[in-house]
Amino acid sequence: MIKNCRNVKIIGTGSYIPKKVLTNDDLEKIVDTSNEWIIARTGISERHLAEDNETTSDLSSKAALKALKDANIEPKEIDLIIVATNSPDMVFPATACLVQEKIKAVNAATFDLQAGCTGFVYALIVAWQFISAGFYNNALIIGAETLSKFVDWTDRNTCVLFGDGAGAVILKAKEEKGILSGYLGGDGSKADMIMLPAGLSKNPASHETIEKRMHYVKMKGNEVFKNAVKSMKRSTIKALEKCNLSVKDVDCFIPHQANIRIILVVLKVLGIKKDKVFINLDKYGNTSAASVAIALDEAVKEGKIKNNNIVVLTSFGAGLTYGSIVFRWNK
Ligand code: UT7
C-alpha cells in the first residue's frame, strides 16, 4: 500500500515539436532503407528534428510555457523543475537550470533525471513523492530530447527510429486524488542493449572514440524489443495492482511510442482493447523521454482523455529501465 500524505494531480499539459520534418522518403536518400521497411517494421512515417541551433532546453521551455498556460499558473509559482532527458544541452549544468532561466521560474529547485526513455515516468513519480510529502507544492516535469544530434546518420538500424520533441506537465497538491499509483524498475545486467558509449568517464572523448563512432547511440534492437514487451506488461500490472485496479479499468493507455509492433504485442499480452490506446509514433518516431509526455498532451487536447478517466503511462528504455504510472484524470 502506498501511504501518501497529500493528493497530487496533473493540472496542465503542453508539448512542443520542432518544425523540421524528416520523412521516410528523405531517409531513403541517406541510408539503405525504404519507406515500406520502416512503416512495416516500426509504424513510423516521419519524425521532427531540432535545428542545429535548437537545444533540449529550448524545446523544454516551449513545452513548459504551454503547460503553465494550460494550468493557469505563473512560472514563479513553480518550486520544482525536473527535466527527464538523455540528450541534455551539456553534461552540466543540468538542462533544468537552463529551462528555469528561460521561463523565469525563479523560485524552483532544478535537476535533470536520466532514466532512458522511462525518464518522464520516473520524473513524474519522483515529483509526486515530493509534493505528496509536503516538500513542494507545484512541480514542472518535462520529458525532452534532441536525440537527432546523437544518432549515427550512417546506421540504418537506429537513425530511422528517433525524433526530437518535448512534453511537459504541471503537478500540484490538491484535495481530490489524481495520481493513484506507480511502479518503477531497472535491470543493469542489460545495460549494453542501448548505450551512448563515449564522451564521459568510461571513454573520454579522443580521436579513437570519434573514429570508432562511439559518440552515437548503439542499440541491440531485437533484444530491446523482447524486453520492452515483458517490462511494460510487468510494470503496468504492478502499478494497477498497487491501487486495486485491473486492466479492465483503464480508459486510456499511453505506452512508450517506440515501435507499433511493440505496442500491439503489449496490448495483446495485457488484454487491452485497441480503442483504449493512444498512438502518435507515426508522426514523431521514438522521442525517448519525451514520448509519453507528448502523447499525454495530445491525447488530452484531442479529447481522447475525459474527466474521471483512468490513464496509464508506461515506458521502457536504456538501463534497462521501465515503469508505469496510473492516474485519474480530473482536470
Ligand atoms: O526507446 C527504446 C529504444 N529502442 C527500441 O524501442 C527498439 C526496439 N526494437 C525495435 O523496434 C526493432 O527491433 C527494430 C525496429 C530496431 C528492428 O526491427 P526488427 O524487426 O527487430 O529487425 P532486425 O533488427 O531483426 O533486422 C531485420 C533485417 C536485417 O537484415 P537481415 O540481417 O535480415 O538481412 C537488418 O539489417 O532488417 C534490416 N534492417 C533494415 N532494413 C531496411 C535493419 N534496419 C533497417 C532499415 N531499413 N532501416
Mind listing the pLDDT tens digit for each residue in 199-216? 999 999 999 999 999 999
Residue 95 has pLDDT above 50, yes or no: yes
Residue 294 has pLDDT above 60, yes or no: yes
For a mutational test of ligand 1's pocket, the pick from 29, 39, 41, i.e. the residue with the most ligand atoms closer than 8 A to its C-beta, is 41
CA dist list (Å): 85 to 59, 111, 238, 250, 254: 11, 11, 25, 27, 19
Residue 143 has pLDDT above 70, yes or no: yes
Q: Where in the chain is the domain with CATH 3.40.47.10?
A: 7-179, 180-328
Query: Which pLDDT does position 331 carry in this prediction?
Result: 82
- Distance separating alpha carbons of residues 179 and 243, to the nearest angstrom: 10
CA dist list (Å): 236 to 69, 213, 226, 322: 31, 36, 16, 10
Residue 234 has pLDDT above 60, yes or no: yes
| pLDDT confidence band for 4 (50 / 70 / 90) | low
Strands 80-84, 194-195: pairing is unpaired
User: Bridge-partner residues for 10, per DSSP?
Assistant: 171
Contact between 321 and 115 under an 8 Å Cβ cutoff? The reply is yes
- Distance separating alpha carbons of residues 193 and 261, to the nearest angstrom: 19
Answer CATH for 180-328 from 3.40.47.10, 3.40.1190.10, 3.90.1150.10, 3.20.20.70: 3.40.47.10
Catalytic residue, chosen from 97, 138, 159, 256, is 256
Residues 55-77 have a mean pLDDT of 98
The phi, psi pair for 174, rounded to 5°, reads -140, 165
Query: Which pLDDT does position 3 carry in this prediction?
Result: 54
Task: Using CB atoms within 10 Å of the CB of residue 4, give its burial: 0 to 12 exposed, 13 to 18 middle, 19+ buried.
Answer: middle
Query: Which pLDDT does position 175 carry in this prediction?
Result: 86
Contact between 315 and 291 under an 8 Å Cβ cutoff? The reply is yes
Whether 48 is catalytic is no
Whether 243 is catalytic is no
| pLDDT confidence band for 1 (50 / 70 / 90) | very low
Per-residue pLDDT reduced to its tens digit, 171-184: 999 888 899 999 99
Q: Which atom of ligand 1 is nearest to the CA of 259?
A: 11
Percent of the chain with pLDDT strictly greater than 90:
97
Residues 140-145 have a mean pLDDT of 98
User: Bridge-partner residues for 226, per DSSP?
Assistant: none
Please give the model's pTM, rounded to 2 decimal places: 0.97
Domain 7-179 fold is Peroxisomal Thiolase; Chain A, domain 1 (3.40.47)
Contact between 191 and 320 under an 8 Å Cβ cutoff? The reply is yes
Residue 62 has pLDDT above 50, yes or no: yes
Residue nearest to atom 21 of ligand 1 (CA): 222
Residue 240 has pLDDT above 90, yes or no: yes
CA dist list (Å): 215 to 165, 196, 198, 211, 255: 21, 6, 5, 10, 28
Reading the block at residue 54, the C-alpha cell is 535548437
Angle between helices 95-103 and 56-71 (to 10 degrees): 50
Residues with CB under 6 A from ligand 1: 33, 37, 41-42, 117, 156-157, 160, 194, 219, 221-222, 224-225, 228, 258-259, 286, 288, 317
